[in-house]
Chains A and B, each alone.
Chain A
Amino acid sequence: MTTDRPETGSMPPADAAGGARPPPAGPWRRALQGLASSRTAVLSGLGLVLIVLATVLAPVYAKHVAQTDPFRSGLSAKILIDGKRSPVMERSTEGLGLGVTPIGPTWGPKYFLGADNQGRDVAARLLYGGQNSLIIAGAATLLCLVCAAVIGIVAGYAGGRVDTVLSNLIDMIWAFPVYLLAISLSIVMLGKTFEIGPIHISSSSLVVPIIIIGLVYVPYVARPVRGRVIAITNSDFVLAARGLGIRPSRILWRHILPNVATTLIVFAPMLMALNIVTESSLSFLSVGVQAPNASWGTILQDGQALLYSRPVVSMAPGIAIMVTVMLLNLFGDVLRDILDPKSVRGR
């Protein structure tokens, strides 16, 4: 083992002088210490907290600042600008009088970033959209990690036929291009309402994109997890545990899962970033989040029709996606350096 981080199941090293000394900090504690000492991790973590906080406060912003319902069309709405009531949707009066253009950024409380082609407040929708994008990406990440952990651990620990079947299943899913698979699943799932016993999932539910995005990336995580489990299964402390007759479930729970957890944690922020991009892509293609729900992807799609007249409608969610993904990747890089035993910088 090249890492200075002890395996959870191994014995602590003896003091060279032979005297007793306090046990070394556990891997989790050292990970937290590492994160706290990294300026990149602190700044990116702070940025992420601010983004999450902003999206959580979306209802407050919409109700008390923008004073609008961002899910309701406001095609006939009016706004007071410089003491004059102006329509949110401005009808062209010049030339042939063609076209209706939504109001641009006012940089004030109402319509801070202007309106979209339904006359809705873009800033309020951006916050609500961010809420959904983060919920979907977070839940999909969790779903993906749980599925990948179960498949990877079972395949890696059981070996034999179970491993062959599960590995081939993973390879089969892996063989599909991610977006092609996600779009195909979306088209199938969005056309139906699922009712499994008491569970009722409508096509417009956020659960649909969560399931789709969560599942398509399972092979990408399950593979490395399986490899790690195989390595741990053949390590001395697991062999010793087996030799002592400890039940497999206990070995899995006490020795293997804690060691695999670090791998899963390293994957989490990067997977989350990937999921935000995937969700936005699917929603942009109309196969992700469905109206009346909004996400950064759907706002991006709304903005596409206003690219020339009101570019801010597409730029705003674009920037939000870029910043969030960048912060997640920066945070994930630091986390990997701390937790991944194979990381060069982590040695």
Chain B
Amino acid sequence: MITKLTPARPGRWAATVATIALLAGLAPGFAAAQDAHRGGTLRLVSVSSQGTLDPHVNYTSQFWQLYAFLYDGLVGFKKVGGPESKEVVADLAAALPEVSNDGKTYTFTLRKGVKFSNGKEMTTDDVEASFQRIFKVLGPTAGTFYNGIVGADQCLAAPADCTLAGGIVADKAAGTVTINLVAPDPEFLFKLSAPHASILPAETTAKDNGNAPIPGTGAYMVKSYDPNNSMVIVRNPAFSEWSKDAQPEGHVDEIDYTFGGTEEAAVNAILNGQADWMFDQPPADRLAELSTAAPDQIHLAPLSAWWYAPMNVNLAPFNDVRVRQALNYAIDRDALVSLFGGPALAQPVCQVLPPDFPGHVDQCQYTLDPGDSWSAPDMDKAMQLVEESGTKGEKVTIVTEDNAASRGIGTYLQSVLSDLGYEAAVQTISGDIQFTYIQNTNNKVQISISQWYADYPAASNFLNVLFGCDSFHPGSDASINIAGFCDKGIDDRMKAAIALGATDPAAADAEWAKIDGAVMEAAPALPLFTPKQVDLLSTRVGNYAFSNQYHWLIANAWVQ
């Protein structure tokens, strides 16, 4: 539209010129106000690091939180706080993909001008090589998240020769990448949003890069990393913000992450202003003190997580559903919440899907008055079930991790099992090995304490992963279906619900709620509680935002 200027009185002209001049004068001031929080160093502390820096290999929440601002995938979860953080947005792709071929083909057009921290421009070659690399390095989710890509079977069989021929089709001239799936997967965009699908330079060696930082496209890059000491993260000089939702520029100039010490020392450091945040949860005996002495420095956020006790359905006495149900009736979930720091930090649950999660509908079968929520244990019912099972007096060993929370829960369960008439004992194992130890059926673990944190917001990520027949691998350390539960009927319903999600997500969620109830009827696990995240920040940190996927969004915070 063309606007014709009409002659005006001299005074009006003067006012207009003055206004323009004033606005022009104020512009830098506005910009300065926008940047007022830019700069400074954020000091993070953690009791330990979490091993390799390689985003295709590392599978820990601690490092996934960092990958949020170090690496990008074709798509990613929105980097904002609150419920919107579950949304998938275009990241290295210019827009969300075109889905065709009945949900089996995803076509992405890459953004132009995106550079890695080594200055090299990102191309379709990097995307193609990155997907091959997921299999070549035997990424932990290669066989679960990305096994639906055409050619993935061959890659899983012979990782070194992985080409994903027909699965990943790149058109360099057009700047497009097409991903072909064997079957429709309504959760595929979630899986692509995980750090394991980060796009790395094509020349990255096809092996776990360990402590050596790999160039990324994120707003920051790792300058140095010593897993026993520290990590220094600085701004990526080649970065230019293309989408605030996908990869915001970040406020601080440097992030210093120190490893070592204790949780107690970390709390003291934050209270004394020597550190800005601790990865580990503050120790339970400091919570009451912190909640009164530094309430403004504490941020609580609900987690898409589940603390539970898987019961081995193939080993006595838990091979009898009545025993599993009895224990579910017998435990005092309020007591378990107390062990975790009280109701402000955990919510009692008696189902698999956490609150506010897709497919979650409040339900509790194992309480004094079965209904929507847990009210009190029903010890009489529990005793009756144990009597009927004829298993009284049998030996039960609870395998826990060597930390206060896990050990405390184990000790409590031992007490409850003793009340039910079993000869119960607790076996504590180092946290480094407990998770794999309890998965391996050769270790004959009857019951253990474990946790599951959602990889992405889909009910299948809990129910299908933890109780699907495909997740049970006898004799393997990687058998995440720890209970060894495999009900063909429920398994078929889960597969159908996954498929239904592609066409009717609401109907799929309703079906998942029913599956949640069906799984709990078989009681392969003892739901304990849904925990909350406690973030203790120093007084100088501002702009706290919590994402369901990445937890505290470190790069969104400022220190000045």
Contact residues, B326-348 vs A (CB, 8 A): 332, 334-335, 338-339, 341-345
A75-B339, A76-B335, A307-B264 known; A118 and B411 CB under 8 Å? yes
* A96 x B285 contact (CB < 8 A): no
* A73 x B415 contact (CB < 8 A): yes
Interface: A250 (CB within 8 A): no
Min CB–CB distance B49 → chain A (angstroms): 22
Interface: A292 (CB within 8 A): yes
A73-B335, A97-B342, A117-B339 known; A202 and B288 CB under 8 Å? no
Give Cα A310 to B289, complex, Å. Answer: 12
Which size bracket describes the interface of B in this complex?
A: 35 or more
Min CB–CB distance B18 → chain A (angstroms): 52
In the complex, identify which listed stretch (B24-32, B112-120, B418-426) lies at the interface while the others stay far away.
B418-426
Min CB–CB distance B454 → chain A (angstroms): 24
* B288 x A92 contact (CB < 8 A): yes
* A308 x B418 contact (CB < 8 A): no
* B291 x A97 contact (CB < 8 A): yes
* B288 x A117 contact (CB < 8 A): no
* B284 x A290 contact (CB < 8 A): no
Interface: B402 (CB within 8 A): yes
Contact residues, A92-136 vs B (CB, 8 A): 92, 94-101, 117-118
| Contact residues in A for B415 (Cβ distance below 8 Å) | 71-73, 118, 292
* A100 x B534 contact (CB < 8 A): no
A98-B287, A202-B395 known; A118 and B408 CB under 8 Å? yes
Give Cα A89 to B341, complex, Å. Answer: 11
Closest to B407 in A: A286
Chain B, residues 261-286, CB within 8 Å of chain A (1/0): the string is 00010000000000000000001111
Min CB–CB distance B68 → chain A (angstroms): 27
Give Cα A132 to B395, complex, Å. Answer: 21
Partner of A290 from B341, B404, B426 at Cβ < 8 Å: B426
Give Cα A283 to B448, complex, Å. Answer: 20
Interface: A67 (CB within 8 A): no
Closest to B433 in A: A187
Give Cα A309 to B284, complex, Å. Answer: 9
Interface: A32 (CB within 8 A): no
Please tell me the number of chain A residues within 8 Å of chain B, measured between CB atoms: 34
Give Cα A101 to B287, complex, Å. Answer: 9
Contact residues, B22-66 vs A (CB, 8 A): none
Chain A, residues 63-83, CB within 8 Å of chain B (1/0): the string is 000000001110110000000
Give Cα A308 to B344, complex, Å. Answer: 20
Give Cα A76 to B428, complex, Å. Answer: 24
Give Cα A292 to B408, complex, Å. Answer: 12
Main secondary structure of the interface of B (DSSP, over half): helix
Min CB–CB distance A58 → chain B (angstroms): 18
* A98 x B332 contact (CB < 8 A): no
Interface: A305 (CB within 8 A): yes
* B332 x A75 contact (CB < 8 A): yes
Min CB–CB distance B29 → chain A (angstroms): 38
A75-B335, A290-B425 known; A99 and B285 CB under 8 Å? yes
* B264 x A89 contact (CB < 8 A): no
| Contact residues in A for B426 (Cβ distance below 8 Å) | 204, 290-292
* A306 x B285 contact (CB < 8 A): yes
Give Cα A191 to B332, complex, Å. Answer: 29
* A75 x B338 contact (CB < 8 A): yes
Closest to B376 in A: A76
Give Cα A89 to B408, complex, Å. Answer: 14
In the complex, identify which listed stretch (B77-85, B203-211, B292-300) lies at the interface while the others stay far away.
B292-300
Interface: A203 (CB within 8 A): yes
A118-B412, A290-B428 known; A204 and B285 CB under 8 Å? no
| Contact residues in A for B534 (Cβ distance below 8 Å) | 98
* B427 x A191 contact (CB < 8 A): yes
| Contact residues in A for B292 (Cβ distance below 8 Å) | 92, 94-96
Give Cα A307 to B285, complex, Å. Answer: 7
Min CB–CB distance A189 → chain B (angstroms): 11
| Contact residues in A for B354 (Cβ distance below 8 Å) | none
**A–B complex contacts, Cβ < 8 Å, 12 sampled:** A92-B288, A95-B291, A95-B292, A97-B342, A98-B344, A99-B284, A99-B341, A118-B339, A118-B411, A286-B402, A304-B404, A308-B286
Q: Which residues of A contact B (CB under 8 A)?
A: 71-73, 75-76, 89, 91-92, 94-101, 117-118, 190-191, 202-204, 286, 290-292, 304-310
7 shortest interchain CB distances as A-B pairs = A99-B287, A99-B288, A204-B425, A75-B335, A95-B292, A95-B291, A98-B291
